[in-house]
Amino acid sequence: DAGVIQSPRHEVTEMGQEVTLRCKPISGHDYLFWYRQTMMRGLELLIYFNNNVPIDDSGMPEDRFSAKMPNASFSTLKIQPSEPRDSAVYFCASTSGTSGYEQYFGPGTRLTVT
């Protein structure tokens, strides 16, 4: 398996623009997580899905952030409108009970909002 795939790897955008981050989980995994990592706040869980259904989105910073999982092999995290404070590395991870619940992380998307 290719592991968790994220795109783009780097994104530079201007404040006010819409940003869409994409994730393909490992095939067969039924949990998908979105995290944000910054120097100031460390690693934060934004939202997670189980069987494509959002279970806990309490970590989503505000209404500008939204996440979807239309099928088992694809998820998006959208920021609209983006702000400079959204600059961070965004990670997607997946897991399943049959894999022992260890989460497998993608390489991340480094977002810079100017």
Partner 1 sequence: AQSVAQPEDQVNVAEGNPLTVKCTYSVSGNPYLFWYVQYPNRGLQFLLKYITGDNLVKGSYGFEAEFNKSQTSFHLKKPSALVSDSALYFCAVSLTGANNLFFGTGTRLTVIP
- For 85, the 3-state DSSP assignment is helix
Interface residue with partner 1 among 38, 43, 80, 112 (CB under 8 A) is 43
Instruction: For residue 106, give both structure tokens.
Output: 């993608």
Interface residue with partner 1 among 23, 25, 31, 34 (CB under 8 A) is 31
- Could you tell me which residues are beta bridge partners of residue 53? 50
Class of residue 76 by CB neighbours under 10 A (exposed 0-12, middle 13-18, buried 19+): middle
Q: How far is the CB of 37 from partner 1 (least distance, A)?
A: 9
Determine if 103 is a binding residue for partner 1 (CB under 8 A). yes
Residues forming contacts to partner 1 in the complex (CB under 8 A) are 4, 31, 33, 42-43, 45, 48, 50, 55-56, 91, 93, 95-97, 100-108
